[in-house]
Amino acid sequence: MVGDKFNSSKDIESELYALIHTILNANEKFEEGVINNNFFRRTVKNAISELLRFNFLLDERKIDLSLLLKKMNFMEQYYRAIGIINKLSSLEFAHNTDDGDIMDQPINSRRISSTVLELPSITLEITSSFITLMDALKLKGLHESELINTLFRELIKNMKRFPGMDDLRKKIKRVYKYTLSKPKSEYRGKSSSEEIVDEIYQIFKEFQRKLTLKA
């Protein structure tokens, strides 16, 4: 697990080196036909998860990733790995896209590389979106449909910016579609909004657990 042996700067550099070369080596073996497509995708996805955790640990220790890469003279390899992530992610998102749904359109691949560098700030934005939506549902209920719709769409858009969270984004979309499907006669029912808040809160807790930010 990333972070278990972060006792020195050399440990941190070794961890980053290993993560990046896992992606580069997997891509090379895949192109050579040594490993199959499923194994390649699984290896890269696991490396992405570890890279996400690595970035959060860097943030906790106030270490700038860009400066670390320059110090290691490792910028070229890092962005080659990010390019592989971009390619794989673009294929994944394109494959999972529902035609005609703007909230499911493929993510711009260039966004993923910047996302990896900006994970802490994006996490704060997502957390804020969750909290704002839950607070609005508690205070306004479902009868403020325009506001609730806007907040749902903002949360879904923010989740798109975070690689590896597509499953949670789909859960939020399901709750959103359920909300849209409720008859207007039920909008003022307190129990309806509380039910939706509970569902959103469970997804929020799952988001935190996935990032190992909260036990």
Specify the CATH number for the domain of residue 166: 1.20.120.1130
Average pLDDT of the chain to the nearest whole number:
78
| Structural domain contains residue 3 | no
Indicate the pLDDT class of residue 190, thresholds 50, 70 and 90: low
> Quick one: 152 and 198 in the same domain?
yes
**How does pLDDT run across 105-125, given as a tens digit for each residue?**
444 444 444 445 456 667 778
Q: Is 55 exposed, middle or buried (0-12, 13-18, 19+ CB in 10 A)?
A: buried
Helices 145-160 and 166-181, axial angle in degrees (round to 10): 170
**How does pLDDT run across 49-78, given as a tens digit for each residue?**
788 778 777 877 888 888 898 999 998 998
- Give the chain's domain count: 2
Mean pLDDT of 129-144: 85
Mean pLDDT of 187-208: 82
* Residue numbers of the domain that contains 89: 9-117
* 145 token code pair: 């449909």
| Structural domain contains residue 26 | yes
Comparing 102 with 7, which gets the higher pLDDT?
A: 7
**pTM for this entry:** 0.52
**How does pLDDT run across 11-50, given as a tens digit for each residue?**
899 999 999 999 999 999 999 999 999 999 889 888 877 8
> Quick one: 14 and 111 in the same domain?
yes
CA distance 3 to 150: 38
| Structural domain contains residue 4 | no
| 117, 140, 175 - which closes a domain | 117
In this prediction, what percent of the chain has a pLDDT beyond 70? 73
> Quick one: 102 and 77 in the same domain?
yes
